[in-house]
């Protein structure tokens, strides 16, 4: 034997065990042995392991060969199990053999034990080898089944060819991606998938790389069975045999069609406006930068036109977002039709469009295109069963006269548009010197104004409306003032347009309403005679549709009587959307809040319009008051206004009164109250009490003593 045997003797008689060992040693075997005589001892020995064979007596006290055999077989080992007994019948031996014993030898015939043990050791080795081989085969089959499942479940297509390039196998994903069934491609060359997108040099390089390095990876365009060309990510590897030489090629590929579509869609969304499909500001800026570089090299010019749709928000709010979106698409189409190169049009923002003119002869050529665009945009359009007429405001800047780069040129176009953005519609305006500073100032005011309320930089002053009949102050107008830490005192004439343009006017309007009502309550608590506060309301607050609710909530929150609040609206504010405005004014008036028409005479001045609004007061604009002493027509207009107000049952206030002559003429005309610097400038809240006291008495000819004493 090659190595010593390690025998486990299950024997209760030690002399018999020694006899067995001596007999085997005399037969030439090198061995060691351990005798056990109980089930527990056998279990312990089996746990130790490393045994070559088990020689077991048939019968032991309280323990038999069948139990020992069961313990050995339970271990799953290939140990030879030979019964060595002095008394065992053939029937008993047969029964044990059926249970798994390998042989039996009688103790009086030990000459058979050696050959039987050698035979069983050899057969046990063969059994182990077969078991190992079978296990290996099972593992290989299981692994092959697993790989087949993996290959068949992969989203990637797999195709195997021989060295000549003939297809020998493919997976289901190959069939799904290419459209070819497995039976159609077996034995054929993969060149049947060629798309003709690549030239011969491309494939020569592919094969050279594959042959010299054993692999190739890249993107390639192939053709499906239905003729559709598609992109795929392809990897080809050579498979080597036992001799190290290539015997097959395996190609793994994935369909990139969806990925390419997603990338194209993402690129489109990144650089285009989703509503109109036009390039967005980012793409336009890139194209403008390229156009500027070309113009720089050619010593030519490039122009930018920034167009803003006038009153778009009002249309969007009144007719709905769907109508607003439809309008923007229509405007985009109309502008595009005016351009020789439609690709030079972009959407800049909500209602803003950009046009680039990379080639033009002179400023007149720019103006001609601009006029054509404005005229086209202003044609009537049907939206939500409503005929709508819109207009546009356009700022124009030119490289290299106005700026040297794309960003600066866009800023100049925006600065050029700013002067005509409010009130001067359907116009164009070229950038001129000084506009850049104005634009920067505008942006600085907007930036600081966004934080003015939370930083408590705003305050209200109050200018009295003096009653002509008795000189008393029963109403004061709330006027907002702003002292910015960085900008200093900023005039309302400057920051109110900025607030309207940026949308901050809504927050500012809410703050003014809340602050004014709270101040009236404070005056009431100090025992001042009841005074009404007049608050100016912007067109944006009316357009929001929430003004009545804001007023009601503010009055309730502060516990203020509606009779102590007055709302002032301009003609242009109310006439922008007559039905919408009239409905809100009616709701405000029903609360008991007075509504005054401010700046009367500067807008529509239509009796038909005025009769539709629940007004309580008209305020004659200061422009008529200023001309009273020089222009007889102003006196006629004032007289007509007073007469109109009387016919409508309205009180009349003249604002901007600055001279005694104006005061006397207005009193003679029949105005109910006067407002202006002649009577009082706007004062801080704390000064109102003394001001009311000064105007508590009325001198002859109706002149307030406070004015006389103030000089």
- Mean pLDDT, range 129-145, rounded to an integer: 77
Task: Give the residue from 232, 261, 290 where a domain finishes.
Answer: 261
Gap between the Cα atoms of 335 and 586, Å rounded: 40
Whether the Cβ atoms of residue 620 and residue 653 lie closer than 8 Å to each other: yes
Shared domain for 555 and 684, answered yes or no, is yes
Shared domain for 526 and 637, answered yes or no, is yes
- Mean pLDDT, range 525-537, rounded to an integer: 93
- Mean of the per-residue pLDDT values for the chain? 86
Assess whether pLDDT exceeds 90 at residue 149: no
* Residue 608 pLDDT level (bands cut at 50, 70, 90): low
Residue 573 is assigned to a structural domain of this protein: yes
Task: Give the residue from 402, 433, 464 where a domain finishes.
Answer: 433
Structural domain of 60: 5-131
pLDDT tens-digit series, residues 374-432: 989 988 888 878 888 888 889 999 999 888 999 999 999 988 887 776 555 677 888 87
Shared domain for 283 and 251, answered yes or no, is no
Residue 183 is assigned to a structural domain of this protein: yes
Preceding omega of 212 cis (within 30 degrees of 0) = no
Shared domain for 254 and 279, answered yes or no, is no
Gap between the Cα atoms of 301 and 516, Å rounded: 54
Q: Compare 572 and 513 and report the one with higher pLDDT.
A: 513
Q: What are phi and psi of 215, to 5 degrees?
A: -160, 160
Whether the Cβ atoms of residue 621 and residue 601 lie closer than 8 Å to each other: yes
CATH of the domain at 475: 3.20.20.450
Shared domain for 255 and 277, answered yes or no, is no
Assess whether pLDDT exceeds 50 at residue 700: no
Residue 244 is assigned to a structural domain of this protein: yes
- Mean pLDDT, range 495-511, rounded to an integer: 88
CATH of the domain at 408: 3.30.70.270
CATH of the domain at 170: 3.30.450.20
User: What is the tally of structural domains in the chain?
Assistant: 4
* Residue 701 pLDDT level (bands cut at 50, 70, 90): very low
Gap between the Cα atoms of 285 and 344, Å rounded: 11
pLDDT tens-digit series, residues 669-696: 999 999 999 999 999 999 998 899 888 7
Shared domain for 318 and 417, answered yes or no, is yes
Mean pLDDT lowest among 260-274, 486-500, 697-711: 697-711
Shared domain for 104 and 212, answered yes or no, is no
Residue 141 is assigned to a structural domain of this protein: no
* Residue 607 pLDDT level (bands cut at 50, 70, 90): low
In the prediction, which pLDDT does 386 show? 81
Task: Give the residue from 403, 433, 463 where a domain finishes.
Answer: 433
pLDDT cut 70: percent of the chain above it: 92
Gap between the Cα atoms of 41 and 57, Å rounded: 15
Shared domain for 527 and 641, answered yes or no, is yes
Mean pLDDT lowest among 7-21, 133-147, 221-235, 595-609: 595-609
Shared domain for 475 and 602, answered yes or no, is yes
- Alpha carbon of residue 181 to chain centroid: 43
In the prediction, which pLDDT does 35 show? 93
In the prediction, which pLDDT does 475 show? 95
- Alpha carbon of residue 277 to chain centroid: 18
Assess whether pLDDT exceeds 70 at residue 17: yes
Shared domain for 414 and 508, answered yes or no, is no
Gap between the Cα atoms of 677 and 657, Å rounded: 6
Q: Residue length, the chain?
A: 711
C-alpha dist (Å) from residue 489 to 415, 480, 492, 516, 536: 23, 11, 10, 20, 20
User: Tokens 């950009």 belong to which residue?
Assistant: 354
Residue 277 is assigned to a structural domain of this protein: yes
Residue 149 is assigned to a structural domain of this protein: no
Mean pLDDT lowest among 50-59, 195-204, 657-666, 702-711: 702-711
Question: Coil, helix or strand for 237?
Answer: strand
Gap between the Cα atoms of 618 and 598, Å rounded: 6
Gap between the Cα atoms of 422 and 425, Å rounded: 7
Assess whether pLDDT exceeds 90 at residue 563: yes
CATH of the domain at 123: 3.40.50.2300
In the prediction, which pLDDT does 710 show? 29
Shared domain for 224 and 337, answered yes or no, is no
| Nearest alpha-carbon partner for 413 in 281, 273, 279, 314 | 281
- Mean pLDDT, range 536-547, rounded to an integer: 86
Mean pLDDT lowest among 120-134, 180-194, 199-213, 435-449: 435-449
* The two three-digit tokens of residue 584, written as one number: 């809100």
Residue 438 is assigned to a structural domain of this protein: no
- Give one DSSP letter per residue of 411-459, joined into a string: HHHHHHHGGGSSS--SEEEE--TTHHHHHHHHHHHHHHHHHHTTTT-EE
Shared domain for 493 and 610, answered yes or no, is yes
Gap between the Cα atoms of 473 and 448, Å rounded: 35
Q: Positive or negative CA dihedral for 597, 599, 604, 608?
A: positive
Residue 542 is assigned to a structural domain of this protein: yes
pLDDT tens-digit series, residues 111-124: 889 898 899 889 88
pLDDT cut 90: percent of the chain above it: 43
């Amino acid at each position: 034997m090659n190595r010593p045997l390690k025998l486990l003797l299950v024997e209760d008689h030690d002399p018999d065990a020694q006899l067995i060992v001596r007999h085997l040693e005399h037969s030439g075997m090198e061995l060691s042995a351990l005798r056990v005589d109980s089930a527990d001892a056998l279990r312990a020995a089996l746990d130790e392991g490393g045994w070559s064979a088990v020689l077991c007596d048939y019968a032991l006290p309280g323990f038999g060969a069948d139990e020992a055999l069961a313990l050995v077989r339970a271990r799953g080992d290939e140990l030879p199990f030979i019964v060595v007994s002095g008394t065992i019948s053939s029937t008993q031996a047969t029964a044990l053999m059926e249970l798994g014993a390998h042989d039996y030898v009688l103790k009086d015939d030990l000459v058979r034990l050696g050959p039987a043990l050698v035979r069983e050791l050899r057969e046990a080795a063969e059994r182990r080898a077969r078991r190992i081989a079978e296990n290996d085969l099972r593992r290989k089959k299981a692994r092959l089944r697993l790989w087949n499942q993996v290959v068949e479940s992969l989203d990637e297509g797999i195709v195997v060819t021989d060295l000549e390039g003939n297809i020998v196998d493919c997976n289901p994903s190959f069939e799904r991606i290419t459209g070819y069934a497995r039976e159609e491609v077996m034995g054929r060359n993969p060149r049947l998938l060629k798309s003709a997108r690549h030239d011969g040099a491309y494939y020569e390089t592919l094969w050279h790389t594959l042959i010299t390095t054993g692999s190739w990876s890249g993107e390639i365009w192939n053709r499906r069975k239905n003729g559709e060309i598609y992109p795929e990510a392809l990897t080809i590897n050579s498979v080597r045999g036992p001799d190290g030489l290539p015997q097959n090629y395996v190609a793994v590929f994935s369909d990139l069609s969806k990925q390419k579509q997603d990338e194209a869609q993402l690129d489109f969304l990144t650089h285009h406006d989703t509503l109109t499909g036009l390039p967005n500001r980012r793409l336009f800026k890139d194209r403008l930068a390229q156009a500027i570089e070309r113009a720089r090299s050619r010593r030519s010019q490039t122009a930018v036109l920034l167009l803003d749709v006038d009153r778009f928000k009002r249309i969007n709010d009144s007719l709905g977002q769907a109508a607003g979106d439809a309008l923007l698409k229509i405007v985009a189409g109309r502008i595009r039709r005016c351009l020789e190169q439609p690709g030079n049009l972009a959407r800049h923002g909500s209602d803003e469009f950009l046009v680039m003119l990379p080639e033009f002869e002179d400023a007149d050529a720019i103006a001609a295109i601009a006029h054509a665009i404005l005229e086209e945009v202003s044609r009537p359009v049907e939206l939500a069963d409503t005929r709508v007429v819109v207009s546009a405001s356009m700022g124009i800047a030119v490289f290299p006269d106005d700026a040297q780069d794309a960003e600066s040129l866009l800023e100049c176009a925006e600065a050029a548009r700013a002067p005509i953005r409010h009130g001067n519609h359907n116009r164009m305006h070229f950038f001129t010197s000084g506009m850049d500073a104005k634009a920067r100032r505008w942006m600085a005011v907007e930036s600081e104004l966004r934080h003015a309320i939370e930083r408590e930089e705003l305050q209200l002053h109050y200018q009295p409306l003096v009653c002509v009949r008795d000189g008393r102050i029963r109403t004061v107008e709330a006027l907002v003032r702003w002292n910015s830490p960085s900008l200093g005192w900023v005039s309302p004439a400057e920051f109110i347009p900025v607030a309207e343009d940026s949308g901050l006017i809504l927050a500012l309007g809410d703050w003014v309403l809340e602050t004014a009502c709270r101040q009236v309550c404070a005056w009431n608590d100090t025992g001042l005679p009841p005074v009404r506060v007049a608050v100016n309301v912007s067109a944006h607050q009316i357009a929001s549709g929430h003004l009545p609710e804001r007023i009601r909530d503010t009055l309730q929150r502060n516990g203020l009587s509606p009779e102590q609040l007055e709302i002032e609206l301009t003609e242009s504010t109310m006439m922008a959307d007559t039905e919408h405005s009239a409905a809100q004014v009616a709701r405000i008036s029903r609360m008991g809040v007075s509504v005054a028409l401010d700046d009367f005479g500067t807008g529509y001045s239509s009796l038909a319009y005025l009769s539709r609004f629940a007004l309580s007061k008209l305020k004659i604009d200061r422009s008529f008051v200023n001309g009273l002493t020089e222009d007889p027509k102003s006196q006629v207009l004032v007289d007509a206004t007073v007469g109109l107000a009387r016919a409508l049952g309205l009180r009349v206030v003249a604002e901007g009164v600055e001279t005694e002559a104006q005061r006397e003429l207005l009193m003679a005309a029949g105005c109910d109250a006067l407002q202006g610097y002649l009577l009082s400038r706007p004062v801080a809240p704390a000064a109102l009490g003394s001001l009311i006291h000064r105007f508590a008495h009325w001198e002859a000819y109706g002149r307030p003593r406070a004015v006389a004493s103030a000089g």
